[in-house]
Chain A
Amino acid sequence: MNKVCVGASLSQNKPGMKKLIPFWQFALTTAAFFVYSDTVRCASADLELQAQLVWGTNNDKPDDPKLKDVDPKVREKLRGVFKWKNYFEVNRQSFTVTAAGPKKVKMSDLCQIEVQSLGNSSVELKLFGQGKMVVRKTQKIKAGELLVLAGDDKNDTAWFVVLSQVEK
């Protein structure tokens, strides 16, 4: 339909009022398309995410009931990149981020993240340690992909904040 309208609008060098009407239709159609696509984009800006606070170590699992084994998929991915053999989940939070504003998620007493949807599957992830922003990262996060913020911890261990889309 748009093709027809474009063709009609390009023939404006011919005199006559009738030539302007297809251009109006073309303009209105295009405007409606952008308004619609903006609406769709806003709707698609909603992301169901999952954040995991993970502790990596080469030692065996400590006697702490709060620690859980990390999901095997995540564990293998982490093992493929980092030197640690064992990864334990300290906390897991599922949440939805919308275009309305950022979402703050507490991962531990000292650690908090703030996630904001930027649309088009992009997010802005901020990591706060003891109330101060440590790092901010903007990243497109697709289904099945991981965005990992990580750092050294004491006794040759490491912490990881693993952000991913919730698998449906």
Chain B
Amino acid sequence: MITHETELKLQAFLDGEITAREAAVLKELLGHDPEARSLFEEMKSTRMLLVGNELDVKLSETREFYWSKIRRQIEVEDRRLSAPVARELMTSWWVRFLVPTALLTALVVLVVVSIRTREGSSPQWAWEEGHEIETPLEETSSFSFRSEAAAMTVVWVDSHHE
């Protein structure tokens, strides 16, 4: 009666996974023990049967791409499983309120900045009818009038020192 350990050693011998010294011992065993020889022959025929009939799977893509697809699928599954938590956070009422509010505020600031002065007091933007007139000297005055017919605006400067 052969032991389980001997069975394992015979299997290892068949797979070529033992040392030369162990192989010599097992060869001697197989020479005089018919039970061991019978088991070994059975193992050998089973192995040959498996090797000869193993399914040959051919991939239509490269090995790296095939496994990367599997990896991506696993990642997607992981994200899908963790998404409900994020969705729950985002659907909180205060998030739905604050995000648009913050964006609108940023937008308003951007608009205000864009129409404000770029260099000091030099305005980029003027009202359609924002006409101004100024005569800083005391001895002068002015008045403005417009002729629509002539498409002309006139500022008449009057000096009082004459």
Chain A residues within 8 Å of B, Cβ to Cβ: 9, 12, 15-17, 19-20, 23-24, 27, 30-31, 34-35, 37-38, 41-42, 45, 77, 80-81, 99-101, 116, 118-120, 122, 127, 132-140, 142, 144-152
The 0/1 profile, CB within 8 Å of A marked 1, for residues 135-156 of chain B is 1110010101001011111111
Residues of B in contact (CB 8 Å), total 48
State the Cβ distance, A49 to closest chain B Cβ, in Å.
14
CA distance A30 to B108 in the complex (A): 10
Is there an interface contact between A149 and B155, defined as CB atoms closer than 8 Å?
Answer: yes
Contact partner of A135 (CB less than 8 A), chosen from B106, B122, B128, B135, is B135
Is there an interface contact between A138 and B111, defined as CB atoms closer than 8 Å?
Answer: no
- The CB with the most chain B CB atoms within 10 A, among A45, A100, A135, is that of A135
Given contacts A99-B122, A122-B130, A149-B155, contact A80 B136 (CB under 8 A): no
Residues of A within 8 A of B103 (CB): 23-24, 27
Is there an interface contact between A12 and B96, defined as CB atoms closer than 8 Å?
Answer: yes
Q: 15 pairs across A/B with beta carbons < 8 Å?
A: A16-B87, A17-B86, A17-B91, A27-B107, A35-B110, A81-B147, A81-B152, A120-B128, A133-B136, A134-B157, A137-B131, A144-B151, A149-B155, A150-B155, A152-B159
The verdict on B38 contacting chain A, using a C-beta distance below 8 Å, is no
Residues of A within 8 A of B134 (CB): 135-137
Residues of B within 8 A of A118 (CB): 122-126
- The CB with the most chain A CB atoms within 10 A, among B86, B100, B104, is that of B100
Given contacts A17-B91, A118-B126, contact A150 B152 (CB under 8 A): no
The verdict on B132 contacting chain A, using a C-beta distance below 8 Å, is yes
The verdict on B115 contacting chain A, using a C-beta distance below 8 Å, is yes
Contact partner of B151 (CB less than 8 A), chosen from A24, A119, A139, A145, is A145
- Interface residues in B78-103 (C-beta closer than 8 Å to A): 86-87, 90-91, 96, 99-100, 103
CA distance A147 to B91 in the complex (A): 59
Question: Which label, helix, strand, loop or mixed, suits the secondary structure of the A interface?
Answer: mixed
State the Cβ distance, A58 to closest chain B Cβ, in Å.
18
Which residue in chain B gives the minimum CB-CB distance to A147?
Answer: B153
Is there an interface contact between A134 and B131, defined as CB atoms closer than 8 Å?
Answer: no
Which residue in chain B gives the minimum CB-CB distance to A45?
Answer: B124
Which residue in chain B gives the minimum CB-CB distance to A120?
Answer: B126
The verdict on B41 contacting chain A, using a C-beta distance below 8 Å, is no
Contact partner of B152 (CB less than 8 A), chosen from A12, A45, A77, A119, is A77
